[in-house]
Amino acid sequence: MCSEGSVISIGRRRFIHSQLLLGSCLFAGPAALVNAQQAANIDAEGRLSKFFNLSRKLLSPLPLNTRLDKRVAVRMLAALNAEYPHFPQQLDVFPDDPGGRDRHSELARLIVASWYTGVVGQQLVTFERAIMYRLVSDVLPVPSYCIGRPGDWASPPQIRFGGG
């Protein structure tokens, strides 16, 4: 798992980009072949940007704004593209600003579930940063990531987030 300060290796960045490109070839006609790689890179960045901003909107008011969240988004988008062949096209045509019905569409549910569980299909995208653990982090540790002191668990939980 990358820490906030570390750098993704070049090889890994290339792999991620190639994953983000899945499906984009459908939209690049023959005329674009000359600068296909550059165009593809812009497409990849654009798609990632859209995915991340859409995720922020769908998960609002939960904050999704750190560098680590962005790294998770990169992995998550790659996993979604790999798991669901139509995902890239569906993402492309999805409204940038989803209304009520859009928020309960299948695509929106899939994105929300992926962020909540940290899992896409049979791939673990994130465990420690899964929203389901973040939303109870005022009370519970992520299993195996202890943040407390011995015996902390005896006191009634100090609820800081809504619910429970």
Partner 1 sequence: MAGMEAEFIIVGSGVAGALVANELASAGKSVLMLEAGPRVPRWQTVERFRNQVDKTDFMAPYRSAPWAPHPEYGKFANDYLVFKGSHKFNSQYIRAVGGTTWHWAASCWRFLPNDFKIRSLYGVGRDWPIEYADLAPWYQHAEQELGVWGPDDEELGSPRDRAYPMSPLPLSYNDAQVKQRMNAHNPDWRVVTEPVARNSRPYDDRPTCCGNNNCMPICPIGAMYNGIVHVDKAEANGARLIENAVVNRIVSEGDRIVAVEYRDSLGEAHRIEGKTFILAANGIETPKLMLMSPGRHHPAGVGNRSDMVGRNLMDHPGTGVGFYADKPLWPGRGPQEMTSLIGFRDGPFRAEYAGKKLHLSNMSVVERATREVLGQNLEHDILTLNERIRDRAARYVEFNSFHELLPQPQNRIRPSATEKDASGIPRPEITYSIDDYVKKSAVHTRENYAEIARVMGGSEVTFSDEFAPNNHITGTTIMGESAEDSVVDKDCRTFDHPNLFIAGSSVMPTVGTANVTLTIAALALRLADRLIKEA
Q: Which residues contact 78 (CB under 8 A, 6 or more apart)?
A: 16, 19, 20
Q: To which residue do tokens 């569906």 refer? A: 90
* 27 sits near partner 1 (criterion: CB under 8 A): no
Spatial separation of the C-alpha atoms in residues 142 and 44, rounded to whole Å: 32
Rounded to a whole number of angstroms, the minimum distance from the CB of residue 17 to partner 1 is 23
* 82 sits near partner 1 (criterion: CB under 8 A): no
Q: List the one residue from 3, 6, 9, 122 that touches partner 1 (CB under 8 A).
A: 122
DSSP class of residue 144?
Answer: T
* 154 sits near partner 1 (criterion: CB under 8 A): yes
Q: List the one residue from 30, 60, 97, 99 that touches partner 1 (CB under 8 A).
A: 60
Q: Which residue from 106, 108, 99, 95 is spatially nearest to 55, judged by alpha carbons?
A: 108
Whether the CB-CB separation of 34 and 50 falls below 8 Å is answered with no
Chain positions contacting partner 1, by CB under 8 A:
1, 58-62, 104, 109, 112-113, 116-117, 119, 122-124, 127-128, 132-133, 135-136, 139-141, 143-146, 148-157, 161-164
